[in-house]
Amino acid sequence: MFIIFKKHFIITFILILIFPTSGKIFAHHAGEGQNMVSSTRFVDPFTGKRERPSDYFLISQDFQKGTIDNSNLHTTTLFGEFNFSGGKFAANFSVPWIYYEQKDRSDASRYGKAFVGAKWNPLVDSGLPFFIILEGRLGFPSGADTDKFVGGDYYSGIANLTLGATWKQFLFVVRGSGIFPLSKDYAKLNEQSGLPYWAQSPSTQTTEEHPEIQKITQWFAYVTYFWTKDFSVFGGLLYRTPYVNVIGGGSLLEEDAETQKKFPKAFREASAGFNYTLTKGTYLTIAGRLPLTRDPDIRLYDYAITTSISFEIPEWRNSSSKKEKEEEEFESEDDLGK
C-alpha cells in the first residue's frame, strides 16, 4: 500500500513540473500550503549535515492585519509530511481554514484549497553542507459554493526548487516557486468566478470567455542563525510577480488602465522571526512579515504574523511508549510492596 501511495505522489510531482509549459493561464489563486519551515527542516548547522527527516504534523495560524479589502484575515492550516526511502522522498498535504474579520460587514469563514504534494531530497545521504529539494504540489477544486469555499473550483499546481547551505551556525536558503492553474474554473464562468463573496462586486456580468490571469512567480531567500541547538533567529525577503490577483498573501483586485499606473510590478516583503524547541520533537516558530510597499491605498496588507507548532510523530510515539512503560514499572513496584 505504501509503495502505491509513494508512486502516486511521484507521478503527481512529475505532472506538476510538466504542466507549467502547457496552455494558457487562468488562475486567480496563489499558493496556500507554502511554508518556509516545511521545506527546510532537519538541517543541523552544528555538524553541517542533514538529519534523517521525520514524519510530522504542523499547525500554523497566520494573521494579516488591514488588507486592501478592508478586512483582517485569520488563516489556520494543518500540514502533514510523511517520509519514504530514508527521507529521500516525502508526501505531504495541507488543509486551510480562513476567517474574515471584516469592517462594516458581518464576519465570515471559508474552507481554502486543499493541497497534496511530493518532495525529492536527492542529497539526504551525501553528508554535504548543502542541499537541494524539489517539490510539486497539487491543489484540488474548492467547489463552486463560494459561501463555503474559497480558492477557485479548479486544479492548481505549485513547483518549488529549494537550495540551501550551512556554514558554521548559519543556514542560507533560496526557494523559487511557480504557481499556476491546471484547469479552468468549473464554477460560474464569469469574471468573478472563484472569488470569495467579499471580493465580488454586486453586479456580475457573465462572459463565455474565462478571464486570463498571469501565472505567479515567487522567490524567497532567508538566513537563519542558530543561537543554540534549541533556539534560532531568521530574516528573509520575498519577491513575487504579479503584485495583485493573489489570494493568501494579497488581493483579488483586477488591474485596469488606472490601477496599472499605481501598483508596482512586483510584491516585496521582509520577514523575521525565531524557532524554539518546546520539548523534544515539538517546535514553535513565530514570524512577522511586512510588505515593503507602504502606501495605504495600494498595500495588500499592513503586516502579518504567523505562529506555527510542529510535532514529530516518532518522538510523540516514543514519549507515549516511555510514559506507558514508566506506569507499568510503577504498578509493578506497588505489587511488590504488598
111 is in which domain, residue-wise? Answer: 2-337
C-beta of residue 157 within 8 angstroms of C-beta of residue 118: no
| Mean pLDDT, residues 55-78 | 89
What is the predicted pLDDT for the residue at 27? 27
Beta strands in 140-204, from DSSP E residues, in sequence order: 156-167, 170-181
C-beta of residue 9 within 8 angstroms of C-beta of residue 84: no
CB atoms within 10 A of CB 183: 16
Q: How many helices (H) and strands (E) does the chain have?
A: 4, 15
134 burial type by CB count under 10 A (0-12 exposed, 13-18 middle, 19+ buried): middle
Q: How far is the C-alpha of 18 from the C-alpha of 127, rounded, in Å?
A: 30
Q: Is the pLDDT assigned to residue 310 strictly greater than 70?
A: yes
Q: Calculate what percentage of the chain has a pLDDT beyond 70.
A: 63
Q: Is the pLDDT assigned to residue 270 strictly greater than 90?
A: yes
pLDDT digits (tens, 9 = 90+) for 130-155: 889 899 999 998 877 778 888 777 88
Q: Please, which residues have CB within 8 angstroms of residue 7's CB and are 6 or more apart in sequence?
A: none
What is the predicted pLDDT for the residue at 304? 93
What is the predicted pLDDT for the residue at 11? 39
For the chain, how many residues are written?
338
Nearest to 273 by CA among 209, 224, 324: 224
What is the predicted pLDDT for the residue at 249? 37
195 burial type by CB count under 10 A (0-12 exposed, 13-18 middle, 19+ buried): buried
Q: Is the pLDDT assigned to residue 29 strictly greater than 90?
A: no
pLDDT digits (tens, 9 = 90+) for 71-87: 899 999 999 989 888 87
Query: Where residue 265 sits, what CATH number does that domain have?
Result: 2.40.160.40
What is the predicted pLDDT for the residue at 147? 80
Q: Is the pLDDT assigned to residue 192 strictly greater than 80?
A: no
Q: How far is the C-alpha of 183 from the C-alpha of 193, rounded, in Å?
A: 13
All 3 cell numbers of residue 304?
Answer: 502579518
pLDDT higher at 182 or 174: 174
C-beta of residue 60 within 8 angstroms of C-beta of residue 77: yes
| Mean pLDDT, residues 9-31 | 34
Q: How far is the C-alpha of 204 from the C-alpha of 317, rounded, in Å?
A: 53
Q: Is the pLDDT assigned to residue 235 strictly greater than 90?
A: yes
How far are the Cα atoms of 100, 168, 212 from residue 246, in angstroms, in the given order? 16, 38, 14
Asked whether the whole model's pTM tops 0.85, one would answer: no
Backbone angles phi, psi at 86, to 5 degrees: 70, 25
All 3 cell numbers of residue 203?
Answer: 453586479
How many domains, in total, are found in the chain? 1
C-beta of residue 79 within 8 angstroms of C-beta of residue 112: no
What is the predicted pLDDT for the residue at 260? 58
Q: How far is the C-alpha of 111 from the C-alpha of 146, rounded, in Å?
A: 9
What is the predicted pLDDT for the residue at 137? 93
What is the predicted pLDDT for the residue at 25? 25
Q: Is the pLDDT assigned to residue 303 strictly greater than 90?
A: yes
All 3 cell numbers of residue 259?
Answer: 490601477
pLDDT digits (tens, 9 = 90+) for 284-299: 999 999 999 988 888 8
The C-alpha cell 474579520 sits at: 101
Beta strands in 168-281, from DSSP E residues, in sequence order: 170-181, 216-226, 231-241, 267-279
Q: Is the pLDDT assigned to residue 305 strictly greater than 90?
A: yes
Amino acid at residue number 97: W
pLDDT digits (tens, 9 = 90+) for 237-248: 999 988 875 543
- Average pLDDT over all residues of the chain: 73
